[in-house]
Amino acid sequence: MASKKFLSLTAATAALVLGLTACGNGDGGSADGGDGSGEEFTFGILYPQTGSLAFLGPPQITAAKYAIDEINAAGGILGTDVPAIVEADEAGDAAQANQAANDLVSADVNAVIGAAASAMTQASYDTVTAASIVQCSGSNTAPDLSEIDDNGYFFRTAPSDLLSGPVLARQMVDDGAFDIAIVARADDYGDGYRGAVEDELEALGANVVATENYDPDATNFDSVVNAVSGAEPDAVALISFQEGAQVIAELIESGIEGDQLYITDGLNDPELGTTVNADDPDVVTGVTGVAPGADNPEFNEGLRAFDPELDVFQFAPQVFDCVTAIALAAESAGSVTPADYVEHLPEISRPDGTECGTFEECRDLLNDGEEIDFQGTSGNIDFDDNGDPTSATFEVFHFGDEGYETLGFEEYSVNE
Q: How does DSSP classify residue 111?
A: E
Query: pLDDT value at position 201?
Result: 98
pLDDT at 88 (0 to 100): 98
pLDDT band at 416 (very low <50, low <70, confident <90, very high): low
Q: How much is the average pLDDT of 138-149? A: 92
User: Has residue 18 got a pLDDT over 90?
Assistant: no
Strand 391-400 versus strand 403-413 pairing type: antiparallel
Residue-range domain boundaries for the chain: 9-158+315-382, 162-293+393-413
Rounded average pLDDT over 270-298 = 95
- SS3 assignment, position 37: coil
3-state secondary structure 326-392: HHHHHHHHCCCCHHHHHHHCHHHECCCCEEECCHHHHHHHHHCCCCEEEEECCEECCECCCCCECEE
pLDDT of residue 22 exceeding 60, the answer is: no
Q: Which of 16-30, 206-220, 392-406 has the lowest average pLDDT?
A: 16-30
In the chain, % of residues over pLDDT 90:
78
Average pLDDT on 59-80 reads: 98
Quote the mean pLDDT of the chain.
90
H/E element holding 193?
Answer: helix 188-203
pLDDT over 80 (residue 301): yes
**How many Cα atoms within 13 Å fall on the side-chain side of residue 71?**
32
Q: CATH 3.40.47.10: does it fit domain 9-158+315-382?
A: no
pLDDT at 2 over 90: no
Burial profile 35-73: b = 16 or more Cβ within 10 angstroms, e = fewer: ebeebebbbbbbbbeebbbbbbbbbbbbbbbbbbebbee
Given this model, what pLDDT does residue 325 score?
Answer: 98
Strand, coil or helix: 16: helix
- Give the DSSP H/E element, type plus range, for residue 213: strand 207-214
Q: Residues 202-243: pLDDT tens digits?
A: 999 999 999 999 999 999 999 999 999 999 999 999 999 989
In contact, 393 and 293? CB cutoff 8 Å: yes
Average pLDDT over residues 341-361: 95
Q: How far apart are CA 325 and CA 157, in angstroms?
A: 9
Query: Which residues have C-beta within 8 Å of that of residue 48, sequence separation ≥ 6?
Result: 54, 56, 57, 89, 90, 91, 92, 115, 116, 117, 120
Mean pLDDT lowest for which of 91-100, 173-182, 216-225, 378-387? 378-387
Stronger pLDDT, 163 or 37, i.e. the higher one: 163
Residue 23, pLDDT above cutoff 70? no
Burial class (CB in 10 A: 0-12, 13-18, 19+), 176: exposed
Domain 162-293+393-413 belongs in CATH node 3.40.50.150: no
CB 283, CB 257: distance < 8 Å:
no
Q: What are the pLDDT digits (tens) for 26-55?
A: 344 333 333 445 699 999 999 999 987 888
Name every residue whose Cβ is closer than 8 Å to that of residue 220 and which is 6 or more positions away in sequence. Answer: 246, 250
Read off φ and ψ for residue 67, nearest 5 degrees.
-65, -45
Task: Give the pLDDT mean for 318-332.
Answer: 98
Q: What is the pLDDT at residue 312?
A: 80
What three-state secondary structure class fits 117? coil
Q: How many helices (H) and strands (E) does the chain have?
A: 13, 15
**Nearest residue to 291 via CA among 260, 315, 308:** 315
What is the per-residue pLDDT for 350?
A: 85
Of the pLDDT bands very low, low, confident and very high (cuts 50, 70, 90), residue 415 is low
Mean pLDDT computed over 10-29:
35
Contact indicator for 209, 230 with CB cutoff of 8 Å: no
Check whether 5 has a pLDDT greater than 90.
Answer: no
Q: What is the pLDDT of residue 213?
A: 97
- Distance (Å, whole) CA 288 – CA 374: 32
